[in-house]
A and B are shown apart, each in its own frame.
Chain A
Amino acid sequence: MSTCASFQIEHLQYLDAEGRLRAGAPPLAKDFARLVDLYRQMLFVRVFDAKAVALQRTGKLGTYASCLGHEAVHVGVGSAMRAEDCFAPSYREYGAQFCRGVQAREVLLYWGGDERGNDYSGPRHDFAWCVPIATQCLHAAGAALAYKLRKEPRVAVCCVGDGGSSKADFYGAINVTGAMTLPLVAVIINNQWAISVPRKAQTGAQTLAQKGIAAGLPCVQVDGNDLIAVRAAMDTSLERARKGGGGTVIEAVTYRLSDHTTADDARRYREDAEVKAAWAREPMKRLRAYLEAHKAWDEKQEEAWKAECAARVDTEVNAYLESKSQPVTAMFDYTYAELPVDLARQREAAIAREQGH
């Protein structure tokens, strides 16, 4: 008997839960100006997220998917990409999208029941929020194929959850990426819970990263609460893809500190002790400790930036709350490029109803 294949999966962590830097960190670990900038983006996301949950609780927003605890992986993914790259999110990667130019008011519009939230100010070619689990992975693969066919140095990036990595669409996307050497970076955000189903119930595989092995892709597991590790993995993967070296699977291990959405109650299926332990590993605290230890950040700056974030979020919230609903015609006008006769008649009937005829 001989071995015909073997593999190992690397785990990247540079900043531990206490904010201590481990050996072998990339140059970003010493670029404090850049790190402060990224930390500020993470804090903005956290302030925004808390406000969005509060809006839902007070009846001013529909069901909302919180991103609490995902700040490092989201900002790490979004900040590593170039504007011309293409992002295919699921439905909670606001931190990545803010880095790319999506506005907070657009997130609120979407969860506030208005399609205009998907008409991003950010990169106009990025995909919209994608509720059908993991389907976005194949859209990203299709985008990657388009860029490869046109010989454009662009990369498609998709995010999917630990639960989503069980879906055929995820497997199909990484499989075709390997088969066609596509510039795709697939980021599995393993936050341990797919609503009420824990990570261990999703697969017998030791890691989710190793799913990439079967597709012939390089793959790595990172501490998804460590911004520096996420960025290191993203930078390497994006560069390889941009140079024609094909795709990568990254598993970012984190924890969903919130309920799945505001319609969920996580206390029904997980222990408080587990959540409490996860709070000790969360991404903001360690980065702040590291920055403060190197005199790059302090309490005063923290408070000032939080106040600034709150003001900016208020501006966004007000813009959302003050926005008027679309006219009834909006539901017809984007169904086709040109309205078919049948639909034009239904549209006229809807207008007449609006006018009380």
Chain B
Amino acid sequence: MAQITLIEAVTQALAWEMAHDPAVVVLGEDVGVNGGVFRATQGLQQKFGPERVIDTPLDETTIAGLTVGLAAQGMKPVAEAQFEGFIYPMMEHIACHAARMRTRTRGRLHVPAVYRAPWGGGIRAPEHHSEANEHLFTNIPGLRVVMPSSPARAYGLLLAAIRDPDPVMFFEPKRIYRQYKEEVPDDGEALPLDVCFVLRDGQDVTLVTWGAQVKETLEAADALAKEGIRAEVIDLATVKPLDFDTIAESVAKTHRCVIVHEAPATAGFGAEIAARLAEHSLYDLHAPVERVTGYDTHIPLFRLEMKYLPGAQRIVEAVRRTLAAG
């Protein structure tokens, strides 16, 4: 069994599903001959042909709208936004149509589509190539929002996303596309789309995160372990619908919670988790919930971006504050 990276797991999942379901097509800018600018669709056009791996005209609105039409007429399109920062022209089709078609037509039509996008910062990219804006989608009814943080989760969650009868936003943390390899059986086994993953058990504090910050959070947990602090680490992975029960169970045990995400703090998805903890878990908490997030600024160009992104050090500091608080 081959060891593969996160982005190779994306390719492997696409290839599996295309081989097993003729309704699956891939479309986007440069996804064909070029295999995508990150190579997520590498080799797929050679394998499945230009009719199923479609280089579209350079227009995100077109990609998003075509995807709605394809999906409503029996196809299972997997559309690629080349970068998360280019997804804004797609939002009308995603919010007003993909997410709304089932309810608008009382189930007569639905949109089983996946919108993939390389997501987040940390790769020294130009302006508009580093956005983290998953919270703009988690507020839209009818959507699922998924973000893998390992090769195995990328494979299993993407298969599930393609098979799901509703539209799924699939955000791929590009900073960890090639960070490490692991064995991922190419067996077509999907992962559930409504449970988060407890990556590390701990008694003292619950760290909730997703995307590329999973790596930073695990590093922080390692550093804390050297001080005897046992952190539980939860990868949200399926951001929406939120599996709050897993978080609540963990907090009932640890009594402390630090939420980590790249997106800006205000109305970021961490705010939803903090609100739920206030609603449902207040009496379990021994300390205020901490959020370690991007600042409420635009992510700066890359000379400063690492000062914007949360990281292990900021997470460790937040945990120490939390432990000192109660």
A115 touches B103 (CB 8 A): yes
- Which A residue's beta carbon lies closest to that of B143? A336
Say what secondary structure dominates the interface of chain A.
helix
A337 touches B66 (CB 8 A): no
Q: How far is the CB of A341 from chain B (nearest CB, A)?
A: 7
B70 touches A340 (CB 8 A): no
Among B69, B106, B243, B245, max chain A CB count under 10 A is at B69
Q: Chain B residues near A135 (CB, 8 Å)?
A: 65, 92-93, 96-97
Q: Chain B residues near A150 (CB, 8 Å)?
A: 74
The reply on B281 being an interface residue by CB < 8 A is no
The docked-state distance in angstroms from the alpha carbon of A341 to that of B241 is 8
Q: Chain B residues near A261 (CB, 8 Å)?
A: none
Q: Which of A23-31, A39-47, A122-130, A294-302 contacts B (4 or more CB under 8 A)?
A: A122-130
Q: Chain A residues near B64 (CB, 8 Å)?
A: 138
Across the interface, B110 reaches (CB within 8 A) one of A124, A142, A337, namely: A337
The docked-state distance in angstroms from the alpha carbon of A140 to that of B62 is 11
B241 touches A119 (CB 8 A): no
Q: Which of B29-37, B53-61, B114-122, B311-319 contacts A (4 or more CB under 8 A)?
A: B53-61
Interface residues of B in 156-206 (CB under 8 A from A): 164-166, 194
The docked-state distance in angstroms from the alpha carbon of A168 to that of B92 is 12
- Which B residue's beta carbon lies closest to that of A340? B241
B194 touches A142 (CB 8 A): no
A337 touches B73 (CB 8 A): no
B165 touches A145 (CB 8 A): no
Across the interface, B65 reaches (CB within 8 A) one of A120, A156, A173, A179, namely: A173
The reply on A342 being an interface residue by CB < 8 A is yes
The reply on B264 being an interface residue by CB < 8 A is no
Q: Chain A residues near B229 (CB, 8 Å)?
A: none
The tally of CB-CB contacts under 8 A between chains A and B is 135
The reply on A139 being an interface residue by CB < 8 A is yes
A86 touches B73 (CB 8 A): yes
Contacts known (A142-B72, A336-B102); A127 close to B109, Cβ less than 8 A: yes
- Which B residue's beta carbon lies closest to that of A142? B69
A128 touches B104 (CB 8 A): yes
A168 touches B61 (CB 8 A): yes
A142 touches B73 (CB 8 A): yes
Q: Chain A residues near B166 (CB, 8 Å)?
A: 336-337
The reply on A146 being an interface residue by CB < 8 A is yes
A132 touches B92 (CB 8 A): yes
The docked-state distance in angstroms from the alpha carbon of A141 to that of B75 is 13
Among B66, B89, B104, B243, max chain A CB count under 10 A is at B66
Interface residues of B in 232-280 (CB under 8 A from A): 241-245
Count of chain A residues near B, Cβ 8 A: 45
Bitwise interface map of B from 131 to 149 toward A, beta carbon under 8 Å scored 1, else 0: 0000000000110000000
Q: Chain B residues near A335 (CB, 8 Å)?
A: 102-103, 141-142
Q: How far is the CB of A345 from chain B (nearest CB, A)?
A: 10
The docked-state distance in angstroms from the alpha carbon of A66 to that of B61 is 29
Across the interface, A141 reaches (CB within 8 A) one of B65, B74, B77, namely: B65
Q: How far is the CB of A139 from chain B (nearest CB, A)?
A: 4
The reply on B21 being an interface residue by CB < 8 A is no
Q: How far is the CB of B93 from chain A (nearest CB, A)?
A: 6
Interface residues of B in 69-109 (CB under 8 A from A): 69-75, 77, 89, 92-93, 96-97, 101-109
The reply on A143 being an interface residue by CB < 8 A is yes
- Which A residue's beta carbon lies closest to that of B68? A139
The reply on B67 being an interface residue by CB < 8 A is yes
Q: Chain B residues near A156 (CB, 8 Å)?
A: 69
The reply on B51 being an interface residue by CB < 8 A is yes
A145 touches B70 (CB 8 A): yes
The docked-state distance in angstroms from the alpha carbon of A69 to that of B68 is 31
The reply on A175 being an interface residue by CB < 8 A is yes
Q: How far is the CB of A250 from chain B (nearest CB, A)?
A: 19
The docked-state distance in angstroms from the alpha carbon of A130 to that of B92 is 12
The reply on B25 being an interface residue by CB < 8 A is yes
- Known pairs A124-B108, A138-B61, A176-B56 / 13 extra A-B pairs, C-beta < 8 Å: A88-B69, A115-B105, A119-B106, A141-B69, A144-B69, A146-B74, A149-B52, A168-B89, A172-B59, A173-B62, A176-B59, A176-B66, A331-B103
Across chains A and B, which 9 residue pairs bring their CB atoms closest together, nearest first?
A: A142-B69, A138-B65, A340-B241, A172-B62, A139-B69, A142-B66, A334-B103, A146-B73, A337-B165
User: Can you show 25 pairs from A to B with CB atoms below 8 A apart?
Assistant: A119-B105, A124-B108, A127-B109, A128-B104, A128-B105, A130-B97, A138-B93, A139-B72, A141-B62, A142-B73, A143-B69, A143-B72, A145-B70, A146-B75, A168-B61, A172-B59, A173-B65, A175-B62, A176-B59, A179-B57, A337-B110, A337-B166, A340-B194, A342-B241, A342-B242
